[in-house]
Amino acid sequence: MCGYREFLTLTAALLLSVGTAVADDHDGESRKGKNHDAVASMVNAGGERTGMIRVQEGPEGVVLRVSLKGLPPGWKAIHIHEKGTCDDHHGGFTDSGGHLDPLDRQHGLLNDEGPELGDLPNIWVHEDGRVKAEIYAPGVTLNGEGSGLLAGDGTAFVIHEGPDDHRTQPIGGAGSRIACGVVRQP
């Protein structure tokens, strides 16, 4: 049995080690250990960092862990775009091209002729501008030809100002592009 002083010393040491092990890099993800295969650092139209999307590859798709801040509240469309750039030569991150679509499908999770591989469910932005979400994207890989996030010219995640209705061509009526992040290996 230990005394009060030893208990406090042990507790302080335990808290210090736990605090170090879960050192936060803005979004609650541990800096220690590999918990992702690729990452996209998201920025808004003003070039300000809005968060991260971490990608983990599975046997038949990828899991996206979305952690964002500073976005306008409400439902927002998020898509995987076909070009790995967030350059803004024409405004609105249009240099990232259209949705990732190697199968030549139509846009929309609810479309009988869809979906494109780049179509994802909408995300919810809370009143404080934050998003925490986990999304599964079936058929998407990291390096596969056509479906690979890192293959060829790469890909980018793009967030739109409004929700995707999952039917309307070409982007589900989601409106302007408000955030973008190029997918890269960490």
CATH number at residue 44: 2.60.40.200
Domain with 30 in it = 24-184
49, part of any domain: yes
133, part of any domain: yes
Residues with Cβ within 8 Å of 111's Cβ and at least 6 positions away in sequence, in order, are: 166, 167
Residue 34's pLDDT band (cuts 50, 70, 90):
low
178, part of any domain: yes
pLDDT at 41: 97
Q: How far apart, in whole angstroms, are the C-alpha atoms of residue 81 and residue 68?
A: 18
105, part of any domain: yes
Q: How far apart, in whole angstroms, are the C-alpha atoms of residue 157 and residue 176?
A: 14
Give all strands (DSSP E) within 84-169, no chain letters.
123-125, 131-138, 156-160
CA dihedral 121, 141, 32, 51 (to 10 degrees): -40
1, part of any domain: no
102, part of any domain: yes
Question: In the chain, pLDDT over 90 holds for what percent of residues?
Answer: 72
18, part of any domain: no
First-to-last CA distance in the chain?
46
pLDDT at 147: 87
What number is the average pLDDT over the span 160-184? 95
pLDDT at 21: 31
pLDDT at 186: 86
Residue 78 pLDDT exceeds 60: yes
15, part of any domain: no
What number is the average pLDDT over the span 91-116? 92
Domain count, the chain: 1
Give the pair of three-digit tokens for residue 99. 């949705």
